[in-house]
Amino acid sequence: MRDVLIIGVSSNVGFDGIVEHFTGLGGEVVLLDPSMVCGRDHIVSAVAHADRAFARGANRSKTILTEVILYAAGDRQIGRATERMRPKGNDVVAVLFGISDPKLDAICAERRDDLFEPSADKALALGVSLVDGIPPEDLVLEHVAMVDLMKQ
């Protein structure tokens, strides 16, 4: 799997400012709405599935970044997935490729990994049906894996 760092970020510089900051560090970034990220494993799984899709030639998008968004959203439609996962406020979950030190002080940002804590509300927001006795984050991982089936 790719070298990836997943962090929660709270900042007032806005979507474009955060993207410019991270790309200026020499890496690539996907910014996600924290209300749609149900745990670190949700995004680790999305990245792993996106990597495998490219390796098999089964990717639906032209870039790994967009493919990660498709899997994270649990959707096969790029427009719908990007709309669903796009951050709506000052808090974001940043998926960093090729960046080991995010240098958040440079944009007066605070690291807040609590932003991607799993919850039933987040699973429901992703369209996952809850099942008694199964943690919401486990159900979200199944939801991510289902994208492969939807692509066929």
Which two structure tokens, joined as six digits, stand for 61?
A: 């998008």
Kindly tell me if the per-residue pLDDT of 134 is higher than 90.
Answer: yes
Residue range 73-93: mean pLDDT, rounded:
95
Spatial CA neighbour of 71 closest among 131, 137, 150? 150
Check: pTM over 0.85? Answer yes or no. Answer: yes
pLDDT of residue 123: 97
Confidence of residue 149 (pLDDT cuts 50, 70, 90): confident
Domain span including residue 67: 4-151
pLDDT of residue 106: 96
CATH code, domain carrying 64: 3.30.2380.10
Residues ≥6 apart with Cβ < 8 Å to 131: 139
Per the structure, how many domains does the chain have?
Answer: 1
Strand partners, 4: 97
Predicted confidence (pLDDT) per residue in 59-70, tens digit: 999 999 999 999
